[in-house]
Each structure stands twice: as C-alpha cells, then as structure tokens.
C-alpha cells in the first residue's frame, strides 16, 4: 500500500508578498517555489508545508477564516524560538502557549490574511487554561 506522507493546505490571501514574508520572516518557513500568475507559493519548514494562493475574494468576513493545525513536538520550545518575531504583531493576532481542555498545549498566530495557525502538542489537561 502506498504511504501517505504529508498534507499541504492551500491558504488563500489577498497579498501574496506580505503572506510570504510573514511565513518566512516570522515563522521560519523557506520558499520552495513562487510564481506570479496567479500568485502562488510553496513554503516549507521541516516536514510542514503550506501553499499560498492569492485571490481577489474578500477574505475579511469571519465565515471565510481558515484554520490550520500544526503539530509540534515541543510547543514551548517553538514559542521561545518564534516569540520574538511575533511580539510586535497587533494585539489579538497572537496567543501565547496555554493548555486546552482537549489535552493539547497550543499557541495561536493570525497570519497576514484570513488564516489562524494553531501550533500544538499533546499535553494532559490540568484544569488550568493558561500556562
């Protein structure tokens, strides 16, 4: 049987240059491919990849928000690495690590478009949502 090796979500955006810069400069992804017509890019960080696709659609409506869950082996270590690059984002775009009731420890980052990125790992819920 063939092995399924990766899932690579398409993330829609209105400004591909800003979105590429966000993933590259703030989240540590590398650009594997970038095309101009239509605006398209493939970015990767270790075994995680995303495909960015530029669109003229209005992505500002809450119903159009996209979400991508990225599993990591140590969410606090990744937060320590990325936190300085995320610190100057406007309020409401970043949520520091916290424990979820569904036994995950996560931090959240809103990208330059309409996608909420959730970074998380398995973690026993201790009744304490924060930290």
Instruction: Give burial (CB, 10 Å; 0-12/13-18/19+) of 113.
Output: buried
Which residue did the predictor score with more confidence, 79 or 127?
79
Q: Which of 58, 59, 61, 24 has its CA nearest to residue 44?
A: 24
- Is 66 within 8 Å of 115 (Cβ atoms)? yes
Instruction: Examine the pLDDT at 108 and tell me if it is beyond 90.
Output: yes
Residue pair 34/40 in contact by the 8 Å Cβ criterion: yes
Q: Once rounded to an integer, what is the mean pLDDT over residues 118-131?
A: 78
Q: What is the pLDDT of residue 23?
A: 98
Reference 78, options 52, 97, 101; nearest CA is 97
């Amino acid at each position: 049987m063939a092995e399924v090796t990766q899932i690579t979500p398409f993330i829609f955006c209105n400004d591909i240059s800003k979105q590429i810069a966000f993933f590259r400069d703030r989240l540590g992804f590398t650009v594997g491919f970038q095309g101009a017509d239509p605006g398209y890019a493939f970015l990767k960080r270790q075994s995680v990849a995303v495909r960015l696709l530029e669109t003229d659609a209005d992505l500002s409506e809450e119903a159009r928000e996209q979400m991508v869950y990225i599993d990591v082996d140590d969410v606090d270590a990744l937060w320590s690495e990325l936190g300085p690059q995320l610190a100057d984002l406007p309020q409401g775009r970043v949520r520091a690590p916290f424990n979820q009731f569904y036994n995950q420890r996560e931090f959240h980052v809103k990208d330059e478009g309409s996608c909420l990125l959730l970074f998380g790992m398995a973690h026993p819920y201790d009744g304490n949502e924060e930290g």
